[in-house]
Structure 1
Amino acid sequence: MSIADTTGTVSWNPGALKEILSNDERRPVLFANARILTMDPLIGTMTGADLLFVGSLLVGVGPGIITAAGDDNAIVVDCTGLTIAPAVVDAVALAGGRGQRSEYVATLTPGNIPDFLVVPDALAADGPSALAALVTVPEQVRALVAAGRPVLWAGTDVPGRVTAPEAGIPAAADLTASPPVGVWIDKNDFLHQELSADGRYDETRGGRPHAYQGRYWIDGDRIDYLDDLGFWAYGEFQGDELHHAGYVMTLR
């Protein structure tokens, strides 16, 4: 239920938000009694339906799931009069560019990630219009959920929400903690990539020294490169290997 205060701010399911934020991700969360635009070609659009997820996994969609909410100790969010739509639109799938349902990356299909919006029915004739509401009337967005965690609730930022990095190129040390410095070499000895402690890289290709040079940043298992020529590239650390542009390198 939504209630507007004297400032026009919408209060919506505050108790459910508190429970979700304190959830250890073992309790199921059920958004109930909604119109759901799944964007899945098999499931389609449902009315009076429920969306069930546990942690970052969507496990059920459709009518009648709420009947088991008490049995499963689920956190229930009443969405009467509201529409749930994917927060990410798979434009390639919508245009018919994916052959299999398993390839659809942004539908509200069991097995996918629960990234979704909750908006009033009047603002969601279809998926794109629901997304447009996020930009044009964000105060009307009841919820924006990313991987099962609320980002917006009742039109405002959720306390403690993850925030995007500030725009601009960070200082070399900002995203580089304990960098794996040294020379990384692929198994064919063609690519040598030296990572220095000062956040610079120097790449040798086929015996050609300094083929590419620039800056790098490490964020978790990801490494981003900004070459001195101006282009960006990336790699990924997988165990003791560095995967980059089709090459698999180890530290020598």
Structure 2
Amino acid sequence: MPNTFPTFTAAGLAAVRAGADRPLLLTNATVHTLDPLIGTMPGADVLIGGALIVGVGPGIVTAAEDDGAVVIDATGTTVLPACLDATVTLGTAARGTGSGTLAPGADAGVIVVPDEHAPDLATALHTAFTQPELLLAVLQQGRPVHWAGRLLTGAATAPLQPDRLAVDPGRVGVWIDTDDFLHQDLTADGRYDETRGGRPHAFTGRYWIDGERIDYLDDLGFWAFGRFSHDGTDDALHHAGYTMHRKDAR
């Protein structure tokens, strides 16, 4: 039998990183593949090669040493796809391709949840997608991005929160579309005020800027978004089919 690292420890993470060019095997977990043919398997293994799921099911660990796999003991855990895709269940997407299942051939996006927070599939999904602090591991393209409660890669800043101001001072001002129909005033206190076709205060609400993305929460309760780009002369804001430029940059 191969050397097996304890469940999602620092030593296990070091082994996964050191063996980045080797297969990765999660062994002895409850695996919800979300694949309509395979279903759920207790005491199963998930073999990852590169960015794909290579195999799933009991007994794969017996070949792990032959294949030079890094083996992580996943006893007491539940493994799920990191993405959901109902089109697989509906039959409108090819099995074992893309994301949404743990069928062999699918993208190696994986979430690992402690069994005590995943007694059944519904609870496991709820935990996985609403309680990130409980996750033991998240793999994207077969590589760990979250391990033992710690985010390993990604945001250099804290995630956006509804009560957290996220304003880019360089983008505060009035943005006007190319037909002079839509005027969108982004204020320094994180509010926006839209004039449409000369109708003032047509939509008002809050906004958050994260890099090139802007999220809107209208006072009516709906969410929308836009993206900033640079067109060679100045910034442009693309939102709901409109292209806007800031008034003082026109």
User: Using a 3 Å threshold, how does the CA distance of structure 1 residues 99 and 131 change in structure 2: closer, same or farther?
Assistant: closer
Aligned residue among 99, 102, 115 for 1:108: 102
Worse overlay, 177-186 or 207-216:
177-186
CA RMSD of aligned residues (A): 4.6
Q: Distance in 2 between matches of 1:190 and 1:204?
A: 8
Deviation at 1:115, TM superposition (A): 3.7
Q: In structure 2, what is the equivalent of residue 234 of structure 1?
A: 224
Q: In structure 2, what is the equivalent of residue 79 of structure 1?
A: 74
Aligned residue among 143, 146, 165 for 2:136: 143
The residue matched to 2:13 in structure 1 has which SS? helix
Deviation at 1:203, TM superposition (A): 1.1
- 1:186–1:192 contact (8 Å) kept in structure 2: yes
Q: In structure 1, what is the equivalent of residue 214 of structure 2?
A: 223
The residue matched to 1:12 in structure 2 has which SS? coil
Q: Distance in 2 between matches of 1:211 and 1:67?
A: 64
The residue matched to 1:16 in structure 2 has which SS? helix
User: Using a 3 Å threshold, how does the CA distance of structure 1 residues 184 and 17 change in structure 2: closer, same or farther?
Assistant: same
- 1:222–1:235 contact (8 Å) kept in structure 2: yes
- 2:183–2:195 contact (8 Å) kept in structure 1: yes
Q: Distance in 2 between matches of 1:208 and 1:27?
A: 61
Q: Which amino acid aligns with 2:167?
A: T
Q: How does 1:41-190 map to 2 (within 5 A)?
A: 41-46=36-41, 48-52=44-48, 54=50, 57-62=51-56, 64=60, 67=63, 75-79=70-74, 82-86=77-81, 98-101=90-93, 106-109=100-103, 110-112=105-107, 114-120=109-115, 126-131=120-125, 143-145=136-138, 147=140, 148-149=143-144, 151=146, 153=148, 157-158=149-150, 165=159, 168-171=162-165, 175-190=166-181
Identity %: 38
Number of paired residues?
Answer: 223
Deviation at 1:169, TM superposition (A): 1.8
The residue matched to 2:122 in structure 1 has which SS? helix
| TM-score, with length taken from structure 2 | 0.61
- 1:50–1:66 contact (8 Å) kept in structure 2: no
Q: Which amino acid aligns with 2:45?
A: A
Task: Note the alpha carbon deviations across 1:205-247, whole angstroms, 9 max, x for none.
Answer: 12223322333220133312244x3524231316345343x32
Q: In structure 2, what is the equivalent of residue 30 of structure 1?
A: 25
Q: In structure 2, what is the equivalent of residue 4 of structure 1?
A: none
Q: Distance in 1 between matches of 2:175 and 2:108?
A: 34
| TM-score, with length taken from structure 1 | 0.61
Q: Which amino acid aligns with 1:17?
A: L
Q: Which amino acid aligns with 1:235?
A: F
- 2:25–2:64 contact (8 Å) kept in structure 1: no
Q: In structure 1, what is the equivalent of residue 35 of structure 2?
A: 40
Q: Which amino acid aligns with 1:239?
A: S
- 1:117–1:130 contact (8 Å) kept in structure 2: no
